[in-house]
A = this chain, B = another copy of it.
């Protein structure tokens, strides 16, 4: 399949919503609402046999009444009606259909038969289908939000295919919450026609896609996905979260998407060979995606740790060793340089424990010294932003003097916020200058700490352990790339 073919699916010039409904709660209402709200760049048409008006749009009674060409049909009507609609689409010259409708192969043999009929009909006209049983597709490039759930994804560099609509859509929410956006998304549904490997190939060639992520359930060792992944993975990172790794999960997957269970050991080997970064935790999926979206990949496993508090340095060092990373000793020349920045009682080692030294400048000076040292490949920097730590909420029962002090504390918080901006700017520059990822760990453990990687260019996690787990994946990926280059 050529790039252009699927590009017309994600960036159509015109879309017809077949099953448009004026009734909130109906799929044909919500999908149309999302398309209109997101301000799709092409033409939109609404189709409903009863006519009337939906969300300010006049409904055509059938697709044939729609004037001009239609690139994409989105179908939300009940399963028994879909076959005829595909026929109509074919006759109209529609090139792609997203069949949101469920009750096909996921429900058993009769549904599977109906699904095969749909696909055969589409093939007759050279049409390609997404789904059936999908939550829809999304493309930032053309503002196409042909999605069922009430989510407005943030635009960014990730593209995702998901064999679970739910899991996929939730990653869109997570992206909104964590400040890392999506370029394209498809809930691949039953994959009656278009399959994961087709989307993977398309995302690989799509320039706006920087990172490919996926949730999959059905994936056996001879899947067509592997050769495609192998052809892509050295150019663009592919993160896959595989559900159904265990007997218990495999049984659940069989009931959910009909996926066959496969030993996780066999799968892991196949993933590794194809250069796929496999994650086994939903949080890790988005943590890894955030880093890949904005940072270079570390060129080795040596980590520099910078911390304002000793305990967090210890915790980070433990996590590094447990995940197979190395926390190298500081050479004398680096110690000498840090001696000039820090008070006498700093740790004199890695982790660089600043021994409660406050202020942005010494923090940045230490970071710069570490980042430019050729002995480390990445840095974990703890406690960079202190502003969040200032709890300035007035208790409301204080004396005049306490109220004055509260205002003063608020000013102080403002000052430190300004310093934080300086830290972020400087970190971003250091990452660019050194090519080393510098991961920030916030002080309050807040998940939504405003780190906003897409905006700030800085990746932050609420705990150092999460930073370390992401680094482990990145280093494995780096090792893969190195081996492949050498081969």
Contact = CB atoms under 8 A, between A and B. Distances in A.
A74 B347 CA distance: 27
A462 B445 contact: no
A244 interface: yes
Given A257-B310, A389-B173, A249 B315 contact: yes
Contact of A444 (B162, B170, B308, B344): B170
Contact of A406 (B37, B163, B176): B37
Interface in A296-323: 308-315, 317-322
Contacts of A439: none
Given A150-B409, A318-B243, A402-B33, A349 B177 contact: no
B286 A152 contact: no
A398 to B, nearest CB: 6
A282 B464 contact: yes
A219 interface: no
Interface in A371-423: 383, 388-393, 395, 397-402, 405-406, 408-409, 412
A39 interface: yes
Contact of A389 (B55, B151, B163, B248): B151
A445 B322 contact: no
Contacts of A173: 388-389, 443-446
Contact of A248 (B55, B318, B393, B443): B318
Nearest to A348: B255
A402 B255 contact: no
Nearest to A311: B164
B402 A246 contact: no
A447 interface: yes
B317 A246 contact: yes
Contacts of A448: 446-448
A247 interface: yes
Contact of A177 (B243, B347, B446): B446
A243 B447 contact: no
Contacts of A256: 310-311, 313-314, 347, 353
Contacts of A398: 36-37, 39
B443 A170 contact: yes
A253 B395 CA distance: 37
Given A255-B348, A314-B243, A446-B177, A152 B401 contact: no
Contact of A349 (B24, B36, B252, B321): B252
Contacts of A55: 399, 401-402, 405
Interface string A77-98: 0000000000000000000000
Given A249-B315, A318-B249, A177 B444 contact: yes
A106 interface: yes
A207 B259 CA distance: 52
A174 B310 contact: no
Contacts of A177: 444-446
A405 B38 CA distance: 13
A427 to B, nearest CB: 21
Interface string A335-348: 00000000011011
A478 interface: no
A201 to B, nearest CB: 23
A278 B170 CA distance: 32
Nearest to A283: B463
Given A152-B393, A173-B444, A249-B315, 14 more contacts: A56-B401, A102-B356, A107-B345, A150-B392, A164-B309, A173-B389, A173-B443, A246-B321, A248-B320, A249-B314, A249-B317, A255-B347, A255-B348, A280-B322
24 contacts: A24-B409, A33-B402, A36-B402, A37-B402, A39-B398, A150-B409, A152-B393, A152-B395, A163-B311, A164-B310, A166-B308, A170-B443, A173-B446, A176-B391, A177-B446, A245-B322, A246-B317, A246-B318, A252-B353, A255-B310, A255-B353, A280-B322, A282-B445, A283-B465
